[in-house]
């Protein structure tokens, strides 16, 4: 081999080795670093559900709204605040709190417009029961919007929910009347009592109680309904009406037997109660009647009592004859009631005489009463008279009557 060729080959081999090694220089010989991805911090996901009763709630009453607050995120929720956001007509009276899966409640459950809550761990929840009062006169739909916020909440579209309930107001009242004319002791009188609903809503669960005053015995009540109302299934001293619509009415006839021997004013009282009634002053009505003791039937005095009847010729009733009765041959009785005097003779023939005193006279007075027409078809201011015998009577009759 040519010595010059060996020298060139060695030089080329050295150059190839340097190229493979990369040589020196300012870059050094270290490894290139791997890029790092930024870490995303964990967040919470706080949500809220709300529920209100489906049944209508009476004004001036109370009800409950249930709220559930949950954290479905990976991190503990911090800076948690609950806001009841109750509808107009509702007031938060109190609330209770129950935690689950590590959820903690406030140390003191104080009602407020904004309620701070402890931090809520991941997967934990709180159940809040809100006790709310319904305002007097509340009516219709009441929509509340409870809400919750947290400082690290990733999703806020589920932080509130509607709680909708319905309230009702119904002005239920009672009126009544009693017989205007005096009622005789021992007889039955009838009171009229009316239960009405002026609205604005239908009344629910209406309770009615009737109380008779002293010296009376209650009979069987009757009822008539109007305006879409329905009478109670059973009537008596206490009654229940499930629903009384606006402008509906119930009219009760209350029969009462007055005890014998009673005189003066006696009364009947009816009361009604219904939740949601804004006016209490018209929930009772007391009415009075006047009772009197009728005079006992009078009997003819003992001794020489006698009755003589003289019939004119051609008279249909007496046939022109004369009749004379004493206690020896007949039963004689005289009775007075309500300004009417009645004489009854039970002998060989039966006779009856009725004298009705003129109106405006407190009691029968001694004297002569003339110009009398047939009772009971007489002129009230003049008085009336009637005679009959063995069922015989006249269509027309005029005469006089003397009391001594």
Sequence-ordered list of residues with C-beta below 8 angstroms from that of 136, at least 6 positions apart, any chain: 59, 60, 169, 278
pLDDT reading at 160 higher than 80: yes
Confidence (pTM): 0.64
Q: Provide the strand spans (E) within 41-83.
A: 46-51, 57-58, 62-71, 81-83
Break the chain down into helix, strand, coil percent, rounded to 5: 5, 50, 50
Q: What are the phi and psi torsion angles at 278 (to 5°)?
A: -80, -10
For the stretch 12-51, what's the b/e string if a residue is b when 16 or more beta carbons lie within 10 angstroms of its beta carbon? eeeeeeeeeeeeeeeeeeeeeeeeeeeeeeebbbbbbbbe
**Selection from 391, 396, 293, 387 nearest residue 343 by Cα:** 387
CATH 2.60.40.1530 region(s) of the chain?
Answer: 170-292
Homologous superfamily (CATH) for 46-168: ntegrin, alpha v. Chain A, domain 3 (2.60.40.1510)
pLDDT of amino acid 179: 97
Q: Which pLDDT band, with edges at 50, 70 and 90, does 10 fall under? A: very low
What is the chain's mean pLDDT, rounded? Answer: 86
Residue range 153-170: mean pLDDT, rounded: 98
Residue bearing the bigger pLDDT, 89 or 6: 89
Which tokens is 79 given?
């800076």
| CA dist 249 → 201, 204, 221, 379 (Å) | 14, 14, 16, 41
pLDDT of amino acid 87: 98
pLDDT of amino acid 364: 66
Alpha-carbon span 151 to 177, nearest angstrom: 69
Judge residue 404's burial from the number of C-beta atoms within 10 Å of its C-beta, 0-12 exposed, 13-18 middle, 19 or more buried: exposed
Bridge partners, 268 (sequence order): 212, 287
pLDDT of amino acid 76: 98
Helix (H) or strand (E) holding 13: helix 3-21
pLDDT digits (tens, 9 = 90+) for 313-355: 667 677 777 778 887 777 877 877 767 778 888 877 787 887 7
Place of tokens 């006016």: 279
Q: Which pLDDT band, with edges at 50, 70 and 90, does 105 fall under? A: very high
Q: What are the phi and psi torsion angles at 94 (to 5°)?
A: -165, 170
Alpha-carbon span 212 to 209, nearest angstrom: 10
Which tokens is 101 given?
């899966």
CATH 2.60.40.1510 region(s) of the chain?
Answer: 46-168
pLDDT digits (tens, 9 = 90+) for 249-268: 999 999 999 999 999 999 99
Q: Out of 2.60.260.20, 1.10.260.40, 3.40.50.740, 2.60.40.1530, which CATH number does the structure's domain 170-292 have? A: 2.60.40.1530
How crowded is residue 393: how many other Cβ atoms within 10 Å of its Cβ? Answer: 14
Residue range 273-279: mean pLDDT, rounded: 97
pLDDT digits (tens, 9 = 90+) for 162-207: 999 999 999 999 999 999 999 999 999 999 999 999 999 999 999 9
């Amino acid at each position: 081999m040519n010595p010059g060729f060996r020298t060139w080959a060695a030089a080329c081999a050295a150059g190839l080795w340097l190229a493979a090694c990369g040589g020196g220089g300012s870059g050094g010989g270290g490894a290139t670093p791997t890029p790092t991805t930024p870490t995303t911090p964990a967040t919470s996901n706080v949500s809220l559900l709300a529920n209100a009763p489906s049944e209508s709630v009476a004004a001036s009453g109370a009800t409950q709204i249930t709220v559930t607050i949950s954290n479905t995120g990976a991190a503990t929720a911090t800076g948690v605040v609950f806001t009841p956001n109750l509808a107009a007509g509702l007031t938060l009276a109190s609330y209770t709190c129950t935690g689950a899966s590590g959820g903690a409640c406030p140390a003191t459950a104080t009602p407020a417009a904004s309620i701070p809550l402890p931090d809520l761990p991941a997967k934990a929840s709180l159940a809040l029961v809100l006790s709310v009062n319904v305002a007097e006169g509340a009516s219709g739909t009441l929509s509340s919007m409870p809400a919750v916020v947290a400082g690290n909440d990733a999703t806020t579209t589920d932080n509130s929910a509607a709680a909708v309930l319905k309230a009702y107001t119904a002005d239920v009242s009672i009126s009544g009347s009693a017989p205007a004319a005096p009622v005789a002791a021992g007889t039955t009188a009838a009171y009229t009592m009316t239960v009405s609903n002026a609205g604005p809503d239908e009344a629910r669960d209406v309770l009615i109680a009737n109380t008779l005053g002293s010296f009376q015995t209650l009979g069987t009540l009757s009822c008539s309904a109007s305006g879409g109302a329905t009478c109670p299934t059973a009537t008596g001293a206490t009654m229940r009406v499930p629903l009384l619509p606006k402008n509906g009415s119930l009219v009760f006839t209350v029969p009462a037997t007055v005890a014998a021997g009673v005189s003066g004013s006696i009364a009947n009282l009816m009361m009604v109660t219904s939740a949601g009634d804004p006016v209490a002053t018209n929930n009772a009505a007391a009415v009075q009647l006047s009772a009197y003791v009728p005079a006992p039937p009078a009997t003819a005095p003992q001794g020489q009592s006698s009755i003589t009847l003289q019939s004119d010729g051609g008279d249909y009733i007496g046939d022109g004859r004369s009749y004379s009765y004493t206690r020896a041959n007949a039963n004689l009785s005289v009775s007075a009631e309500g300004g009417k005097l009645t004489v009854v003779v039970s002998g060989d023939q039966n006779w009856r005489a009725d004298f009705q005193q003129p109106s405006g006279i407190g009691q029968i007075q001694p004297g002569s009463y003339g110009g009398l027409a047939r009772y009971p078809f007489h002129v009230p201011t003049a008085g009336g008279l009637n005679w009959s015998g063995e069922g015989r009577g006249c269509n027309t009759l005029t005469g006089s009557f003397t009391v001594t």
